[in-house]
Amino acid sequence: MKNKMQTLFFLFALLFSFNVYADPCTDLVKALIAKQDMPGMEKTGELVGRLKKFADANKLPYQILEVGPAERRVQKLFVALDMTDDALVAKYLKEFNLDSADKPTLALEFGFEVPNEYVSGVLRTSADPKAQIYRWGKLDLTRDEWAKEWMIKGGFNRYPEREHNPVWGYSHLIQLKPDEAKNVKHFLKNPEERGPCKSDNCVAWTASIELGKTKTGATDEERKYLFNELGVSRSSAHYEIGRRLMHAASERHSGVVVFVNGKEGTAAFKKNLAGLLPPEPQIPYSNIIKGLGHDPKGELMQAVGKLPDGARIFFPIAAGASPEAMSALIQAAPKLKKGFEISLLVNGINESTLRKGAELADGKIRFKSFFVGSNMRKLHGEGYVKYVPGYLSDFPRYMKDPTMKDFKYDAIVVRVSPADKNGNHSLGPNHDMIHAILEGNPKVKIIAEINENVPFTTGDNIIHTSQITASFKSKAALAGPPVVPFTNVEKRIGEELGGLIDSGSTLQIGIGNIFGGLPDGLQNAGKKNLKISTEMFGDSLKDIMERGIAKKAETGFAYGSEDLYKWLNKNKSVKFVTTEAVNSPANIQNTDKFHAVNTALQVRLTGDVNAEFGPEGRLSSPGGQVEFMSGAARSNGGKSIIAIRSTAKNGELSSIVLDLYNGHVTTPAESVHYVVTEYGTAVLKGRTTGDRAVALINVAHPKFREALRDEALEKNIISPAEASEIILDAPVVADFVVRPYQGRAIASHQEGFFERIWNAININFFHVFKIYSH
């Protein structure tokens, strides 16, 4: 017993002493600083060292996180700065500014307009808080005004609730050489010389500091990754530009200051910094690069050379589309007499690549699309992409119909997995319409990108090596949807949906971050034994299956994270089927308890839904929404549900409206049973137009309810008696980020001496005691 206690004491002392005295964060900072010096940078001026010294001198907590996309993972130093401490803020401004002669620092500062959306970042040059900062190309605010009115209050007190948030913003710091600082100042004062990117954050790019002068040996292709497709929502674009500038710079010459709200914000920083940072875009930067800078050669160009002049070519949906093959076609087309006519679905290939093809002389690349997605909205609006209206269950039938000449293709370009032992290649996260084309024309040429990242999925979505006309190999990551912060609003919507969806039902959900709270909602409501039958399978459905809420799924295609694609590999619980089958309204209405859950841009007080048009024109297409909603409305025990945030455009517009944009109806009121917002569920099924209007106004954002009521009264949509049922004074649902950041904590320095002693006792002693007690 004595020996056992001595051993216990020795282990405790060893572990205790390590935790109290070792500081892994300091060691990692030293490692970052110790990296080889870059030309023109003095050791004493290293940003990481300066930021670490600043944190130590002011007793600020700091952490090192590994951030960035897979191919550009870098370690960054994050330091918490209490924005309520004016003296501390003044020290920060004095230490990190562009006017410093010996150590100029580019400070790109970002704040929230609403908790999950970013205002355009500002570029601060001076240490003077009364000096003006560059914001949207203007010098109209001082740094003090920016911090207090925008960063803290979300834009001149439009969102006063923001004052209670733990984090108010961030500052991306990048140390420059004197000539780089001179370039930045020049372009700030001469905006007409900035080129196509007018934003203040683009100044850093125009001044050529993004890669060429902060990283040795940068290639032209690497330079372009900053400002091709950003892979994020428009509201996050400026933050993303700043983040990419940091990733492009040396780890030693960039860091992040996190603006926190007093003691509560500091505590939140210590506890969960990773959860407070904006998520990375899931589109890999290597894919973003592909458009403008890609130079296809070798076997890829040989494969494209197999296609006849004037060929009609089909590209599959989303991750099944090959950016490399598209670039090769664009390169080959100018040498041909007729070029190519290319039919697309949605996403998978960025706008930059499509534009390069669309703008070729003499129309050598002509695009048709069955769905107008984010990558082709502008091109469609400019007349470069011709839209083909229709349903995804109809198009495969057209492809098999010999009378539908416009749907007869000379070639299809597919992404496939490496072959199995039988020579079969999987179409991976796709099935959609490929086999319908092959059935309609067995002699169609197949150009295949054989990609090791394509999972071998379950279903008849395979082609044999003997069917492939020509192939090329690629290691490119598969495309995924852009990531936007998951907020408390989506959490509340998930809770409402969890209560509405029945156990034992067959579930379809549409695309969008709005469904991020659904897995928690279903689990918390105790729902079980679901089946999944959906056009698109995303990460939320993966989460639902991993929790055991559903065990089997069928889908037309998958679109999501790298983890999703890996999870689908040889996963027999998810079967890939044709969109002709899974989207068929007849099949859906013949499935008992079919629950279709989709989203929209607007819902009219009658229940009509607009999922396609914004104020300036077409933003999207129906996709499978009408098929699933109409089928579910007719299913025995079925439910057709629209889930929608109550507001749009950063809270400036109501999503519940009297009039739809362009008057366009995607899904008619007759096929909408329920509308869910963060304020509750409006039951529309079997109700009068007046009852529907009241129910919808009662789930609208409270700040719009009175105006909606008054307009509805004026237009005789509701009666005075019905108007009395509208609840005007409802609490506002707080909107804050809850989705974890996709960074990985490396180390942190954030505890006082006695706190570290207690943690050492708590962690090490009781852990050793537990070992010995067994």
Strands (E) in 644-694, as ranges, are 647-648, 653-654, 656-657, 674-677, 680-683
Active site residue 535: yes
Pairing between strand 550-558 and 574-576? parallel
At 411 the three-state DSSP class reads strand
Contact 174, 203 (CB under 8 A): no
Q: Is 208 exposed, middle or buried (CB count within 10 Å of its CB: 0-12, 13-18, 19+)?
A: middle
Instruction: Label residue 569 left, alpha or beta by phi (over 0 means left) and psi (-120 to 50 means alpha).
Output: beta
Cα separation values, 426 from 165, 263, 568, 630, Å: 47, 54, 12, 32
674-677 and 639-643 strand pairing? parallel
* Alpha-helical segments (H) within 362-453: 377-381, 395-400, 434-440
Q: Exposure of 692 by Cβ count < 10 A (0-12 exposed, 13-18 middle, 19+ buried)?
A: buried
- Residue 393 has which token pair? 């269950």
Beta bridge partners, 255, equal 173
**Nearest residue to 174 (alpha-carbon basis) of 134, 218, 209:** 209
**Quick one: CA dihedral 30, 34, 39, 45, positive or negative?**
positive
The single residue of 324, 490, 535, 554 carrying the catalytic annotation is: 535
Give the H/E segment covering residue 304: helix 298-304
Q: Which two tokens stand for residue 587?
A: 């099949």
Tell me which residue has tokens 């007080």: 605
CA distance 702 to 39: 58
Largest CA distance in the chain: 92
Helix (H, G, I), strand (E, B), or coil: what is residue 445? strand
Instruction: Take residue 455 and report the two structure tokens written for it.
Output: 């999972």
DSSP secondary structure letters along 133-160 = EEETTEEEEEHHHIIIIIIITSSTTS-G
Residue with tokens 């870059």: 38
Distances (CA, A) of 645 to 278, 492, 523, 656: 20, 10, 21, 9
CA distance 629 to 81: 49
Is residue 697 within 8 A of residue 605, CB to CB? The reply is yes
CA-based R_g, the chain, Å: 28
- Asked if 743 contacts 78 with a C-beta cutoff of 8 angstroms, the reply is no
Active-site positions read 535
